[in-house]
A and B are shown apart, each in its own frame.
Chain A
Amino acid sequence: MSEQSRLEIWKTYKIYIGGQFPRTESGRSYAVKNAAGKTIANVCQSSRKDVRDAVSAARAAWGGWSNRSGFNRGQILYRIAEMLEGRKKQIKDELIAQGYTSAVATREINLSIDRLIYYAGWCDKYQSLFSSVNPVASAHYNFSVPEPMGVVGLLAPQKAPLLGVISLMAPCIAGGNTCLILANQEQPLAAVSFAEVLNSSDVPGGVVNILTGYQEELTDWICAHLDVNAVVCYEQGELDWQKMQEKGASHVKRMFRWPATQLYAQGGQSPYLIMDLQEIKTTWHPVQTIAGSGGAY
């Protein structure tokens, strides 16, 4: 069959929950358009029940993921970067289809891969860097150690369709959290393709869940969900930050808004962003040798 007469097979862009690629339970979809206003794909318009399912999947995956060694999490983040390297062309094509120039698309992907590598390196280091042994006036050791918060809701910015997702996700999972990500609403294709990368990168199902849909519809449900421990977004006009904080206040959800200007800059990656999604646990441990106990015995 000649190339001309062959009917091209188009990809169905689905959501990513618990290591599976279901369609939204609502059965809804919306059209993704290119710069010229032409429809280039239909994607799932996720519902609050998809949010709920994603949170359940993230919660189920949390125990295993947070208990992995930092070293192992680092290996897996590195693996994601390796896999993404191999999918460069596909994602670049998708970015170009949505109006990016070839040079900008290449830069976005390269920065994304480098950012993954950056956080892969931090996985087994941030804990020792940010832990402390605290002086106390009794025969105890006193340690403060960062521990992952749990399930985190990540609202991707309405620019940088791939880098935005990765800049939120990488510090979150590097620190042992699991997450659900609401992809860029107008340009979600790269995020969905990135889910396919995740699915082939040794990331256990449920650690990262990616939904596509309307930010205005789903933000409140994510912020009000009692089983989501933290929410992170970038500064952007479309989000009603005060309302989000009110929704999260009833159960003291941790809410973060990272500066959007940093997305492409060096400051867009930092171990302090890992630390935003950590709780500090302080432990008292009795000193066990008499010699070491000083005068207190």
Chain B
Amino acid sequence: MAGKKPAFNIQILNHSTVEQTGVEERAIRFTKRSIKGASKMQGLHMVLSMIDLTTLEGKDTPGKVNQLCIKARHLHDHIPGLPSVAAICVYPSMVSVAKKALQGSTIKVASVATAFPSGQSSLRIKLADTRFAVEEGADEVDMVISRGKFHAGEYAYVFDEIAAVKEACGKARLKVILETGELGTLDQVKKASTIAIAAGADFIKTSTGKIQPAATMPVTLVMLETIRDHFYKTGKKVGMKPAGGISKSKLALHYLVMVKETLGDAWLDKQLFRFGASSLANDVLMQVAKETLGHYQSPNYFSID
């Protein structure tokens, strides 16, 4: 983008309708693949490497964030050869704590910003929020779109806001949270995805995790297909991050199948695909331990997340 902010063109929203039944049936099919043995283990390792280990609570303390960072670096040292997670996702006020705790590792620090989770504030404050996160050392910024403006039909406002936040991010990668649980229909999801990508998003992300429903497979499929359309048109790869509600390893593997069959192997990489989750890591670890040790595990033997 090199300093030049993109301008909104309403034409991009033409033909942004989705056939809901078709999408839902297609999404169900991804859950029918049988993944066992070595491929399952490989998939589970990949899931671990793609997790944005997240804590976004009012009661977060430096101690809690420190603990989470230690977990990120040492997922389960009893089992050798495990990857570390992709990133830690925290509020801006916790970025410096996480940055310090993750020094010397390759784990990124992601910060939510722009009046997360509602996004109901002025652009000035949202930009200040973003700059603060980046100055504290965030490698990635997770912004929320203004759903109110989006529903009011002010697409240009939503677009310009994303573009402005992208500019404020500087070198930090921008993930744009659509909060699909508040968008209502798959058509709206497609529209919002298109706007976010055109405005310069590096990633598009389903949810804040504060609203139900959060990430679902049909919603994620629509977003992945929007990414694919954009790739065919421009050759540019945009990342995807489903977040919220993915807490079981089996479901995570279904998502990987969906990514592979929609976008291809290039997206099976933490540079382009992430899971926003807190309890998923332990479930995956328990599966890996079960495959390694041969019997079922108890959460008592895994660190608290």
Contacts of A55 in B (CB 8 A): 296
Choose one: A48, A226, A247; the contact of B298 (CB below 8 Å). Answer: A226
- Give the docked Cα–Cα distance between A267 and B297 (Å): 36
- Give the docked Cα–Cα distance between A188 and B299 (Å): 32
Quick one: which of B269-305 are within 8 Å of A by CB?
Answer: 294-301
Q: Is the CB of A227 within 8 A of B300?
A: yes
Chain A interface, >50% SS class: helix
Contacts of B301 in A (CB 8 A): 226
Kindly state whether residue A221 has any CB partner on chain B within 8 Å.
yes
Smallest Cβ-Cβ distance to A52: which chain B residue: B296
Kindly state whether residue A224 has any CB partner on chain B within 8 Å.
yes
Interface size class of B (residues with CB under 8 A): under 10
Kindly state whether residue A254 has any CB partner on chain B within 8 Å.
no
Contacts of B300 in A (CB 8 A): 226-227
Question: How many chain A residues touch the partner (CB < 8 A)?
Answer: 11
Contacts of B298 in A (CB 8 A): 225-227, 251
Contacts of A52 in B (CB 8 A): 296
Quick one: which of A216-233 are within 8 Å of B by CB?
Answer: 221, 224-227
Contacts of A225 in B (CB 8 A): 295-296, 298
Smallest Cβ-Cβ distance to A51: which chain B residue: B296
Contacts of B299 in A (CB 8 A): 227
- Give the docked Cα–Cα distance between A221 and B294 (Å): 9
- Give the docked Cα–Cα distance between A141 and B296 (Å): 40
- Give the docked Cα–Cα distance between A48 and B296 (Å): 9
Contacts of B297 in A (CB 8 A): 226-227
User: Which residues of B come within 8 Å of A, CB atoms?
Assistant: 294-301
Q: List 18 A-B contacts (CB under 8 A).
A: A51-B296, A52-B296, A55-B296, A221-B295, A224-B294, A224-B295, A225-B295, A225-B296, A225-B298, A226-B295, A226-B296, A226-B297, A227-B296, A227-B297, A227-B298, A227-B299, A247-B295, A251-B298
Which 6 residue pairs are nearest across A and B when measured between Cβ atoms? A227-B298, A224-B295, A226-B298, A225-B296, A226-B297, A52-B296
